[in-house]
Amino acid sequence: MNSEELILVTGATGFLGVQLVRELLDRQPHARLALLIRDRAGQSGQQRADSIVAPADRSRVQVYSGDVSQPNCGLDQAAYERLSAETTRVIHSAATVRFDHSLDEARRINVEGTRRMLDFAAGARQLRSFAYVGTAYVAGERADLVRESELAVGQSYRNTYEQTKAEAEALVRSRLGSLPGVILRPSIIVGDSRTGVTSSFKMMYWPLKIYARRLWRTVPGYPDAVLDIVPVDYVATSVARLAFDEAAFGSTVHLCAGPHGSATIQQVARRAMEYFHAPEPRYVDPRFFFAAVRPLLWVSLWGRKRRVLRDGRAYRDYFTMKMQFDTSNAERLLGAAGVCPPPVLDYLDRLFHYCVASDWGRKPVPAQ
């Protein structure tokens, strides 16, 4: 790719974003990157970027302190116009992934932030592609095979994250006729499949930690519930490829383990039981647990176990999922290049090992 490429990336400091920036710098050695990064208290966008970009690559990276939830993405007019004139590709991955935001707050970031990036892309004079990183969980509470072409089929949503990501994707779909773009839907993103390395110990890591530490062994869910997880290296590689693949434009792509690579909660739990030498999990019907068991436990438990009860509510729906994600587009577009997600059970032990080696993110692990 020639040196005229300027790739604007949002969400660069997130778990996926960090890997994506490094992948783009490696895969596109002559391209420049523009990173839109929010300032934080005591830390500028530039300082945050310096923590993720190697010194040797910094000459190829421009940092813009901004925020997609603000008018003009928080940029002054001169900076906005300069980006509009020079940007050739947009990869929009900034979002709030919290489940407990109010609907208004989640919409402000996920929906209006996406609208602003679409408006920016529409005005970018040299735009070649717009890649939107959504989530497979726009499927909400479906319990069947979710196809990549589908979005709204009457499903309800578990939380404001799922709902607002679905609303944002609908916006993107409405613009794909006039913008060369692709919608990318990863499932639950976990650590690197080769090393287990992660900087985010959320989602499956939290219940795994309390189980490994023998704080809890009761699973309010179904043994045959589906766990679709994908390693961050697969997702970053896929996004970096598909943002440049004209064959992908106009389509939606599930970056998921899919029916052949996902695992059940029971399969993952058995592997965890063997690795951590922990007692066998007990499965309880979630409706009974939350209606009858949890209220009794709440008044009888204290300390760490009560905190487990409190924090675990955010995860309860993910122990009951029965839906699978069709990956036909992903296989068609990425398979020929040998880019495919490893089956979940093939790399679980590497994830477990990194959890132990890092004490669940509390201490650094030397690079291998």
**Contact between residue 201 and residue 361 where contact means Cβ atoms under 8 Å apart:** yes
**pTM above 0.75?**
yes
Contact 187, 228 (CB under 8 A): yes
User: Is-contact 142 155, C-beta < 8 A?
Assistant: yes
Q: Rounded CA gap, 18 and 229, in Å? A: 19
pLDDT reported for residue 315: 64
Domain containing residue 141: CATH number: 3.40.50.720
Distance from C-alpha of 162 to C-alpha of 170, rounded to nearest angstrom = 12
CA distance 52 to 48: 7
* Residue type at position 107: R
214 within domain boundaries = no
How many distinct structural domains can be found in the chain?
A: 1
> Locate tokens 């939350």: which residue?
290
Domain boundaries, position 90: 6-192+229-260+323-342
Residue 310 lies in a domain: no
Predicted pLDDT of residue 1: 42
Whether residue 311 is contained in a domain is answered as: no
CB 166 within 8 A of CB 203: no
Asked, for residue 284, whether it belongs to a domain, the answer is: no
Residue 177 lies in a domain: yes
Dist CA 258 CA 261 (whole Å): 5
Residue 30, Cβ density class (10 Å: 0-12 exposed, 13-18 middle, ≥19 buried):
exposed
Domain assignment present for residue 290? The answer is: no
Instruction: Report residue 47: phi and psi, to 5°.
Output: -65, -40
Within-domain flag for 223: no
H/E segment holding residue 309: helix 303-312
- Determine which helix (DSSP H) or strand (DSSP E) holds 207, and give its type and residue range: helix 205-212
Is the residue at 289 inside a domain? Answer: no
Q: What tens-digit pLDDT sequence spans the chain (368 residues)?
A: 444 899 999 999 999 999 999 999 999 999 999 999 999 988 999 999 999 999 999 999 999 999 999 999 999 999 999 999 999 999 999 999 988 899 999 999 999 999 999 999 999 999 999 999 999 999 999 999 999 999 999 999 999 999 999 999 999 999 998 999 999 999 999 999 999 999 998 888 988 888 898 887 888 889 999 999 999 999 999 999 999 999 999 999 999 999 999 999 999 999 999 999 999 998 888 776 667 666 776 767 667 767 766 766 666 677 889 999 999 999 999 998 999 999 999 999 999 999 999 999 999 888 76
The length of the chain in residues reads 368
What does DSSP assign to residue 278?
Answer: P
By C-alpha distance, which of 67, 74, 39, 174 is closest to 118?
174
Bridge partners for 37 per DSSP: 65
Which amino acid is it at 350? Answer: R
The C-alpha angle with vertex 113 and arms to 108 and 118, in degrees rounded to 5, equals 145
